[in-house]
Amino acid sequence: MVSREVIVKSPTGLHARPATLLVKKASSFKSDLSIEFDGKKANIKSLIGVLSLGVTKNSTVKITASGDDESLAIEEIIKLINSLETL
């Protein structure tokens, strides 16, 4: 299991389009992926789960991956979150 924190720079936080891109990317991995924000945790492969966290711009979230491809999965998820600031 690996965990990392990242700051969400997307102007809309993890809402609508950014959340959809995140779920799509997470679904391409075998590992279990979760995101934590403000004391709540959700499966990154669940759009409703990600949206329910209400992550806003400049929020710090914790990403956790557990499984066969956990290292690659967490790197790709962090890279995607960092790239969302241009959307």
> Could you report the per-residue pLDDT of 42-83, keeping only the tens digit for each?
999 999 999 999 999 999 999 999 999 999 999 999 999 999
Instruction: Specify whether 16 is catalytic.
Output: no
The whole-number pLDDT of residue 87 equals 64
Quick check: 1 pLDDT over 90? yes
Domain of residue 40, CATH code = 3.30.1340.10
Separation of alpha carbons 51 and 40, rounded Å: 12
Angstrom distances, CA of residue 87 to CA of 8, 32, 70: 12, 26, 26
Point out the catalytic residue in the list 2, 9, 12, 15.
15
- Sign of the Cα torsion 40, 43, 49, 54 reads positive
pTM for the structure as a whole? 0.94
Total domains in the chain come to: 1
Contact in structure between 24 and 52 (CB atoms under 8 Å): no
The two three-digit tokens of residue 85, written as one number: 């600031």
**Domain range for 61:** 2-86
